[in-house]
Structure 1
Amino acid sequence: MERKRIVLVHIAFWAVLITGAFLRGYFSGKMLGLPLITFLITSISYYILSAICFYCSYFWVAPRLILKRQYLHALLLTALIWGIVIFARYALEFWFLKPVIHFDNYHDETPTVNYYISNIFFYYFPSYFIYGLMYFFAENWYKSGQRQQELQQEKLSTELAFLRSQINPHFLFNTINDIYSLTYQKSEQAPEALLKLSVMLRYMLREGNEDFMPLNREVEYLENVIALQRISAKGMAYVKFTQEGYLGDQPIASLLFIAFVENAFKHGIWNDPQHPIEIYLHSNNAEIIFSLSNKKSQGQKDNTGGIGLSNVQRRLKLMYPERHQLTITNNAHLYKVNLILKQN
């Protein structure tokens, strides 16, 4: 389809060029008394020579000159094209135009070989031959840019998929162990916990593979994570999750906030009702604001989440270039994250 479209564009270009030459000749009085059909056929015939020069340059010389750097080969082909165009012009004028449509460009005079050589060299080559080289160069530059962009996009997609696959699985392992314990104890919370885990796994394995998901789905996922933590802690996990603004179908990078939430449960104090984990999420047309703070366990030296945080930072750089602001406060007693995502 792409090749067919390019061919149609070339045909249209030459048609416009010939039509323009014909109209200029018609309105400027340069038809030399020729009938319209004769003048049209003559115009088309000479533009065929231009096309031969252009496409020979494009298909034969340009690839060897620009891509392969075969300068001698390109020079020999240029000389060959020169000879082809000279022969084509002579054949056109004396085997077709003069005997068939009775157009004599030289008024019963016979042009010399030197005339043909100099005319082709000084008219066709500085224009259509050079145009063929320029067109090939521009097309190759454009295609190279496209290929580079496609490779970059493929690399980006591969890296994002790898980053998503690195999401810390410790929470899932712990949750499965907790559900097993609830089942062993025949707790009434076991079915609810199993159902929430099923919903989370479906989101992670299916929908979470997408680069972006609706914000409300991401919020639902976080709520399920928090609910499971509360179940596993037998109601002793204290989390204050404040939601403001419109949390609807605006796109957000999938599984972006979970690293911070898991990090808070893993490294922070979550069983103190006086100091709960505080999560705040606000969204409007301009930006999405996410913040999380938790009191740190005494003696906790590393509350950064390791791979989890570097994973999030890399994903933010790839998916929100120049459109995010991540601030982390980490002291002896408090860990706080503030993330601002600019909407498109």
Structure 2
Amino acid sequence: MKQPFYIANNRPLTHILFWIAYLLVYTGVHADGEDFFLTYFQIELQKLPPAILVAYVNMYVLFPLFFIQRKYVAYSLWAIVLLFIASVVGRALIERVIEPLFYADTTVVEEVFIGYLLLKSMLWFLSPILLFTLVLKVFRQWVDQEQYNQEMAKEKLATELNFLKAQVQPHFLFNTLNNLYALTLQASPVAPRVVLKLSELMSYMLYDSQSDTLLLSKEISHIQNYIELEKLRYTSRLDLSLNVSGDIHDKRIAPLLLIPFVENAFKHGVSNETNQIWVTIDIKVKDNWLSVKVENSHTGDELVSSLSNNHNGLGLQNIARRLKLLYPNDHELAIKKETDRYLVDLKIKMS
């Protein structure tokens, strides 16, 4: 939580400057012309001790003990007692200490307990101090609570994002190991290349993807490595097109944000096909918008996994949630299933 604001990071200095400002403001309000400014300044200076008493007892005793505990009746009663005590203290200092010591020749000592003077001091001079410090503490409490809520929201968001990101990693690894398993069963000579590509992919997932954002070009390179694996698996059966356009080199994006769409195209739209299959991926950056379109063949009778299906399409459900958290008002996601094709159209506003 952020520390309270202090002038020059100095708490005593801040309090001293506040009381100097208080004296100047009250003097300026009551002084009638420049000739009387010094006179009224001395008068306000005499009233400063009870004001300080009210301010600090209210902020550091009454507020935490009663007001913050919502004991408003008790707070009000003790506030009245505080105002009365401070008024008596102020009268006693003026009549018994200050005036006899500094103005002995020009003043007459009066009684301390004069009702209307005590009441005037309570209502006119000290009540504004009480109310001001109360408002100050309430405002400070509200600021602290807002900061706490924001920190908790950020922690909750970070925890959920890390959980969602962690889900992508084993999900992707599971799919890739399945591909490798199929190739080893066939004693395919390309199996070593698969292991090499898998090593590159795992390096990306273990190290690069740990940051909050990374270069879009790295995410695209990750997709290209994944596509190379799929090409080795499907060989000539696969007609694949990857098109990248626009300035991608200085743009940043959350890691592992695009790969689930590509995985979904192969796992749910291609892997069950027996005829010629195709996948088209278009990635374009224009006017600070990233546009990603993933389209694949689909001729089966089963519904392709969608965001509304709770048992399939883990990657897509995951990515939809991450998009809402990371780009709540800066993305558009459309998923369409037609008779012979499946299309994902994603747009993200880049910062």
Q: Is 2:338 aligned against 1:331? A: yes
Q: Which residue of 1 is the match for residue 36 of structure 2?
A: 30
Q: Kindly state the Cα deviation for residue 114 of structure 1 after the two structures are TM-superposed.
A: 1.0
Match of 1:314 in 2: 321
Matching of residue 282 in structure 1 with residue 284 in structure 2: yes
Letter in 2 for 1:29: D
Q: Select which of 8, 17, 28 maps to 2:22.
A: 17
Partner of 2:348: 341
Aligned to 1:110: 110
Is the 8 Å Cα contact of residues 297 and 333 (structure 1) preserved in structure 2?
Answer: yes
**How big is the shift at 1:126?**
3.0
- More displaced, 16-25 or 272-281? 16-25
1:1-344 mapped onto 2 (5 Å cutoff): 2=3, 5=9, 7=11, 8-20=13-25, 28-31=34-37, 43-102=44-103, 107-111=107-111, 112-167=113-168, 169-176=170-177, 178-179=179-180, 189-234=190-235, 236-269=237-270, 276-304=278-306, 306-344=313-351
1:46 and 1:14, CA in 2 relative to 1: closer, same or farther beyond 3 A?
same
**Structure 1 residues 310 and 11 mapped into 2: Cα distance closer, same or farther (>3 Å)?**
farther
3-state SS of 1:2 partner: coil
- After superposition, the Cα gap between the structure-2 partners of 1:226 and 1:159, relative to the gap in structure 1 and judged at 3 Å, is same
For the residue of structure 1 that corresponds to 2:132, the secondary structure is helix
- Report the Cα distance in structure 2 between the residues aligned to 1:20 and 1:139, rounded to whole angstroms: 23
- Which SS does the other structure have where 1:238 is aligned? strand
Cα deviation 1:123-169 (Å, max 9, x = unaligned): 13431111121111111111111111111111111111111122263
Aligned in 2, Cα 1:282/1:10: closer, same or farther, shift over 3 Å?
A: farther
Shift of 1:285: 4.2
Alignment check: 8 A CA contact 1:175 1:232 kept = no
Offset at residue 306 of structure 1 (A): 2.1
Aligned residues: 338
- Asked if the contact 2:219–2:256 (Cα under 8 Å) also holds between the matched residues in 1, the reply is yes
CA distance in 2, matches of 1:124, 1:209: 60
Sequence identity percentage: 28
Secondary structure at 2:290's aligned position in 1? strand
2:335 alignment partner, SS class:
strand
**2:51·2:126 contact (CA, 8 Å) conserved in 1?**
no
* Contact persistence 1:64–1:71 (CA under 8 A): no
Give the superposition deviation at 1:175.
Answer: 2.8
Give the SS at the match of 2:343.
strand
SS at match of 2:280: strand
Shift of 1:340: 0.8
For 2:34, the aligned partner's letter is: S
2:309 equivalent in structure 1:
none
**5+ residue gaps, structure 1:** none
Distance 1:192 1:41 in 2: 90
SS in 2 for 1:29: helix
User: How far is the alpha carbon of 1:212 from its aligned partner?
Assistant: 2.1
